[in-house]
Amino acid sequence: MFQAGPAPFKPAVAHGALRDGLSLSPGMRVGLFGGSFNPPHSGHLHVAETARIRLGLDKVVWLVSPQNPLKSSGETAGLEQRMAWVRDLARGPDMIVSDVETRIDTQWTIDTLRLLKARHPGVKFVWIMGSDNLMGFHHWKGWTDIARLMPMAVVARPGSILGSRFAPTSTFFADRRVPASRAPILAEMQAPAWVYLTAPLNPQSSTAIRKARTTP
């Protein structure tokens, strides 16, 4: 478990950082949506689309993790397979599917986000996650650093609506929460700033899909 202490800085430009494969321009509003996506499903797309529409984002970048440090590698499909699954799901010009963490050789989200900020000055990044991830966000390395690095948008997911509202991150940054009515300007705000977005719920989950695949 990681606590609120700062995450040590890595060099601003790591190996391969100048070849991150992203074509972004200063002034763009860009959502960063990370995960194992093992497998991706309509619930993930619901989170990405809700954030894109409600925040007025130009692009949503799906950061497909090579391996989540908090999950077992034995239950995670290969990166190429998961990239293909996400590309098949997240179609359209507003969605970018990226293996940037592999390209720039980062393991932790905080390092990835710091490098992307350094690589793309002037781009207005927002971190996107479902409320199910918010419940365990305080376990992430440098979680308070992430919240202070860029605004965050949390989209309601089934089974975590009540719990996420009282999660450690929610209470720690309670005074930095902004009303949903201000979601359209979240990307312009100084971090820490975060919004909780409610929308019609999508019940899909990666865990349920994996379980169904292995059940005789």
Give the bridge partners for 154, in sequence order: 129, 196
Instruction: Give the DSSP letter of residue 11.
Output: P
pLDDT of the residue at 78 = 92
Cβ–Cβ < 8 Å for 175, 150: no
Token reading at 18: 């100048």
CA separation for the pair 146, 176 (Å, rounded): 14
More reliable by pLDDT, 61 or 74: 61
Question: What is the pTM assigned to this prediction?
Answer: 0.86
Q: What are the pLDDT digits (tens) for 16-42? A: 444 688 999 999 999 999 999 999 999
CA separation, residue 192 to residues 127, 163, 167, 174, 186 (Å): 11, 21, 16, 10, 10
CA separation for the pair 209, 56 (Å, rounded): 31
46-52 CB contacts, 8 Å cutoff, 24+ apart = 46/155, 46/199, 46/202, 47/128, 47/129, 47/130, 47/155, 47/157, 48/90, 48/95, 48/128, 50/155, 50/197, 50/199, 51/126, 51/128, 51/153, 51/155, 51/197, 52/94
pLDDT of the residue at 34 = 96
pLDDT of the residue at 16 = 43
pLDDT of the residue at 133 = 94
Q: How much is the average pLDDT of 6-20?
A: 58
